[in-house]
Structures are given as structure tokens and as C-alpha cells.
């Protein structure tokens, strides 16, 4: 295994680039600790899920550069990137991650607004008279 593995993860408008290396389990997101960057517990769990599933949470350091979108999209982009990196480390990791759908790119994005409508599909109230 090479010293640093880098992978990319995407979700909605977010793109996460991660660098996975042997270490003590530190996760930094855009230069901050992930607990500081994502204050919500559920969002923090999104980031650490792949590492806890494989039970290597304290074996790897993860450095993340993420941009675009909101915190939920960013955390799920990070989750996909970490999962891909763990599969690169050891192919044995694929099955448990795939069962939890961590290796699936969620391609749902916001539908664009159409002209003549207030939102993508919503119409103005119809008036017969």
C-alpha cells in the first residue's frame, strides 16, 4: 500500500477530496477538526461511519478538502470518498461498505426552475374566472 491514498466523493453540489494515510485517527475538514466543522452529531456520524463499519477508526488519518453545497451534502460526499479509499486499501472492505450503500454515488440533485412557474414544478393558482 502506498503512503497516501486520495479519492474523490460527490453528493448534490458538494465535492470532497480526501487524503487517507496511516495515523492515529485524526479527521480534519478544510483545516479544522471534523467535530468543529460539523457541530451536529448525526452529520459527524456520516463522516465516521465507513471507518467504524470496518473498525479502523484509530488507524488512519483523514485530511479532507470539501467545497460546495450544504453540510449534509458535504458530509455524504466525505463518506463516499472515505469508503472508496478504504476499498483501495483492502478489497475485503468492499462487501460491508456496499451492504450499507456507502459506495453508491447518490445522483439526486435539485431540479432546475422552469420559466412561467414559481419553482421547478409548482404552478400558480389556476383561476377559471
Q: 89: exposed, middle or buried (C-beta count within 10 Å: 0-12, 13-18, 19+)?
A: middle
Q: Residue 84 belongs to what domain range? A: 4-99
Would the pLDDT of 2 be above 90? no
In a domain, 66, yes or no: yes
**Helix segments in the chain, DSSP class H:** 34-37, 41-54, 71-89, 94-99
Would the pLDDT of 30 be above 60? yes
In a domain, 75, yes or no: yes
Rounded to the nearest integer, the mean pLDDT of the chain is 93
Q: Is the pTM of this model over 0.85?
A: yes
The total number of structural domains in the chain stands at 1
In a domain, 105, yes or no: no
- pLDDT value of residue 3: 84
Would the pLDDT of 90 be above 80? yes
In a domain, 63, yes or no: yes
Percentage of the chain lying above the pLDDT 90 cut: 90
In a domain, 121, yes or no: no
* CATH number of the domain where residue 31 is located: 3.30.230.10
Beta strands at 27-29 and 60-67: parallel, antiparallel or unpaired? parallel
In a domain, 104, yes or no: no
Amino acid at each position: 500500500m502506498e503512503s497516501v491514498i486520495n479519492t474523490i466523493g460527490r453528493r448534490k453540489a458538494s465535492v470532497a477530496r480526501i487524503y487517507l494515510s496511516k495515523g492515529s485517527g485524526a479527521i480534519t475538514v478544510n483545516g479544522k477538526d471534523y467535530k468543529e466543522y460539523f457541530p451536529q452529531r448525526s452529520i459527524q456520524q456520516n463522516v465516521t461511519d465507513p471507518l467504524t463499519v470496518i473498525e479502523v477508526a484509530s488507524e488512519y488519518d483523514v485530511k479532507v478538502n470539501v467545497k460546495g453545497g450544504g453540510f449534509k451534502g458535504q458530509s455524504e460526499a466525505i463518506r463516499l470518498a472515505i469508503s472508496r479509499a478504504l476499498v483501495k486499501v483492502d478489497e475485503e472492505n468492499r462487501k460491508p461498505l456496499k451492504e450499507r450503500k456507502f459506495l453508491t454515488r447518490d445522483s439526486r440533485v435539485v431540479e432546475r426552475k422552469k420559466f412561467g412557474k414559481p419553482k421547478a414544478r409548482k404552478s400558480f393558482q389556476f383561476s377559471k374566472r
